[in-house]
Amino acid sequence: MEKVLYDEMRQNETDHWWFQARREILLQVIKSFVPKGAAVLDVGCGTGFILEALQHEYDVYGLDHAEVAVNYCHERGLTCVKQGLLGEETFNGKKFQLVLFLDVIEHIEDDLAVVSIAKQYLSENGIVMITVPAFQFLWSAHDEIHHHKRRYTKESLTSLLLRAGYTVRYITYFNTLLFPIIALIRAVGNLTGRRNASDAKPENKLINDMLYRVFKSERVLLPNISLPFGVSLLTVAEVKTTNNA
């Protein structure tokens, strides 16, 4: 992504409803699967917004290819973040109980390769957690601005993980309650040719607070149930063995 998108992300993530509610949901799911003190690697960690919250309970590390992202992480005091690519940076052979790909693999042409490489970084019984944008019919200017290659469904993401040698433990859509509104806005935007806007831009404060509360409320559902649709998709998977095949 261009530097301006990282700058926009850093500027808006502390107040914007999507960043705030998403972080709370992700923390809830992570804590449900991974014990405190576990080693966590956030691949494509961006500005460090998630790592900053995780560092209080986990042994965190981050990796991002963009210098601007790594600099923002270091400004947050996250000196555990390195610049580089998965497969090239080895972290001195350290193994992780959790490897995160949070809205990352949709940017990568060969998503199968990068998800496969992640297995090298997992400790015994380690897991990967992946979030991606859902449903190709929701494709919009936002996807193009952020250089997305694709959006996913439960079926396509499950297939990817199986081909990479994983077993899916949990998969769900999320950002479900706001799905009808977002789908309508994107459809109208595509029809009218409004193709220069990013979803990361701030809303009116009242609207922002309302959207935050609605999205955040999904915390009580995850990871206890699997939601049937949503703007995004989340999965937790482990390396396939003879025991879980």
H helices of 55-192, where? 67-75, 111-117, 141-145, 154-163, 179-192
CA–CA separation, 241 and 245 (whole Å): 6
pLDDT tens digits for range 89-99: 889 999 999 99
- Identify the DSSP state of 58: S
Taking alpha carbons only, the member of 158, 145, 137 closest to residue 231 is 137
The length of the chain, given as a count of residues: 245
- Partner residues linked to 41 by β-bridges: 61, 99
d(Cα 166, Cα 168) in Å, to the nearest integer? 6
Report the alpha-carbon distance of residue 138 to residue 156 in Å, rounded.
15
pLDDT the model gives residue 195: 52
In the chain the domains, ranked by start, together with CATH numbers, are 3-239 (3.40.50.150)
pLDDT tens, position by position, 65-97: 999 999 999 999 999 999 999 999 889 999 999
pLDDT tens-place string over residues 28-66: 999 999 999 999 999 999 999 999 999 999 999 999 999
Q: Are 42 and 102 in contact (CB under 8 A)?
A: yes
Q: How far apart are CA 225 and CA 171, in angstroms?
A: 9
The CA angle 137-142-145, to the nearest 5 degrees, is 125
Tokens (6 digits) for 194: 């409004």
Q: 129 near 119, Cβ under 8 Å?
A: no
